[in-house]
Amino acid sequence: MRSMSIFAVVVVVFGFGWWQLAPREIGGRDSYFILSGTSMLPALQTGDLVVLRPASSYRVGEVAAYLTPQLKAPILHQIVGVNAGRYAFKGENNAFVDPSHPSQKEIIGRLWLNLGPMGRILLGLKKPALGAPLLGFAASFALWPKYRSRRRRLRRYGYET
C-alpha cells in the first residue's frame, strides 16, 4: 500500500512538472531558447537559457520574443510600444527600435524564466570532449549500487570478493 502511495505522488509531481515546463515541441506550452548577441545586456547575456510562455496579451515594458522573417530566428527584446495591433521592440543595449513590428500572433511568448548560464552548460555538453566523460560518469554512477549490493550479498553468504 505504501509503495502505491509513493507511486501516486511521483506521478502527480511528474505530471505537474510536465504541465509547467514541457517544451512546445513535445506538447507543452513553453519555448526554450539559448540567447546569442548583446542587445539585451546587461540583464540577459549570450548563453543564457530563457523560458518563454505565451500570453493572451502583452504590455509595454515586458520582454518578449518574436520570429522575424528577415533573420528567420527568434528575437528577444523589450516591448516599447503598441500601435494598431503591431508591437514595437527594442533591445536594452540598442539605440534603435527594431525594424520589424510583429502582431500578437507572431509573438512567441514573454520572458517567464531566465536560467542564466544553463544555456552555456547545455551547449558545452554537445561537445564530445565534455559530453563523453559526463556520460561515462553518469553510467558508472548508475551501475555502482548494483555492484556494491552484489558484493554485500556474496559476503553475507561467506564468499570473498
The predicted-structure confidence for 73-117, as pLDDT tens digits, reads as follows: 899 999 999 999 999 999 999 999 999 999 999 999 999 999 999
The predicted-structure confidence for 117-135, as pLDDT tens digits, reads as follows: 999 988 887 888 877 887 8
pLDDT averaged over the chain? 87
C-alpha dihedral, 12 to 14 to 17 to 19, nearest 10°: -70
Report how far residue 48's alpha carbon sits from residue 154's, in angstroms, rounded to the nearest whole number: 49
pTM: 0.72
Could you give the count of Cα atoms lying within 13 Å of 125 in the half-sphere of its Cβ? 9
Domains of the chain, first to last: 29-116 (2.10.109.10)
